[in-house]
Structure 1
Amino acid sequence: MTRVLVAGFTGSMGRQVVDLVRSLAGFEISAVLDPSASQDDLAAQGLSSQTTLYHDAVEVDGPVADVWVDFTVPAAVFANAQAAINNGMVPIIGTTGLNDQQVASLKELATQKRVGGLIAPNFGMSAVLLMKFAKEAATYFPDVEIIEMHHADKADSPSGTALATAKMIDENRPEHESSPDKVSTLDHARGGDYHGIHIHSVRLPGYVAHEQVLFGGPGEALTIRQDSFDRHSFMSGVKVALQKYQQLGSLVVGLENIL
Structure 2
Amino acid sequence: MTVKVVIAGPRGRMGTEAVQMVANESNFDLVACIDRKIEDAKIRNYPALSDLKVPVFEDPEECFHTVEADVFIDLTVPDACFVHATMALQNKIRTVIGTSGLTNNQIEELTITAKNNQTGCIIAPNFAIGAVLMMLFAKMAANYFPDVEIIEKHHDQKLDAPSGTAVKTLELIKENRQPKTQGHPNEEETMQGARGATDEGIHIHSVRLPGLVAHQEVIFGGSGQTLSIKHDSIDRKSFMSGIKFAVEKVMEIDDLVYGLENILDN
**TM-score with structure 1 setting the length:** 0.90
Q: Distance in 1 between matches of 2:199 and 2:63?
A: 37
Q: Distance in 2 between matches of 1:169 and 1:6?
A: 32
C-alpha deviation, 1:257, in angstroms:
2.1
Contact 1:74 1:155 in 2 (8 A): no
Q: Aligned runs of 1:141-152 on 2, under 5 Å? A: 141-152=145-156
Contact 1:31 1:64 in 2 (8 A): no
- Answering whether residue 177 of structure 2 is matched by residue 173 of structure 1, we say yes
User: Structure 1 residues 45 and 258, CA, compared in 2 at 3 Å: closer, same or farther?
Assistant: farther
Matching residue within 249, 257, 266 for 1:252: 257
User: Structure 1 residues 67 and 61, CA, compared in 2 at 3 Å: closer, same or farther?
Assistant: closer
Q: Distance in 2 between matches of 1:32 and 1:44?
A: 8
Q: Distance in 2 between matches of 1:145 and 1:204?
A: 20
- Answering whether residue 165 of structure 2 is matched by residue 164 of structure 1, we say no
SS where residue 223 of structure 1 aligns? strand
Contact 2:16 2:48 in 1 (8 A): no
Q: CA RMSD in A?
A: 1.9
Gaps of 5+ in 1: 180-189
Q: Aligned runs of 1:9-158 on 2, under 5 Å? A: 9-37=10-38, 38-39=41-42, 40-41=45-46, 44-48=49-53, 51-62=54-65, 64-158=68-162
Q: Distance in 2 between matches of 1:64 and 1:25?
A: 18
C-alpha deviation, 1:52, in angstroms:
2.7
1:87-128 deviation digits (Å, cap 9, x = unpaired) = 111110001001111111100111111111100000001100
Contact 1:148 1:211 in 2 (8 A): yes
Q: Distance in 2 between matches of 1:258 and 1:46?
A: 34
SS where residue 14 of structure 1 aligns? helix
In the alignment, residue 57 of structure 1 is paired with which amino acid?
P
**TM-score with structure 2 setting the length:** 0.87
Q: Distance in 2 between matches of 1:43 and 1:215?
A: 43
Q: Give the greater-gyration-radius structure (CA).
A: 2
1:184-242 deviation digits (Å, cap 9, x = unpaired) = xxxxxx93122221111000011100000011112211111100000011001011112
- Answering whether residue 233 of structure 2 is matched by residue 232 of structure 1, we say no
- Answering whether residue 235 of structure 2 is matched by residue 212 of structure 1, we say no
In the alignment, residue 119 of structure 2 is paired with which amino acid?
V
C-alpha deviation, 1:177, in angstroms:
4.5
State percent identity of aligned pairs. 47
Q: Distance in 2 between matches of 1:96 and 1:10?
A: 16
SS where residue 249 of structure 1 aligns? coil
Contact 1:139 1:174 in 2 (8 A): no
1:56-88 deviation digits (Å, cap 9, x = unpaired) = 334344363110011111232111111111111
Q: Distance in 2 between matches of 1:157 and 1:6?
A: 24
In the alignment, residue 219 of structure 1 is paired with which amino acid?
G
Gaps of 5+ in 2: 184-194
Runs of 4+ residues over 6 Å off in structure 1: none
User: Structure 1 residues 77 and 191, CA, compared in 2 at 3 Å: closer, same or farther?
Assistant: farther
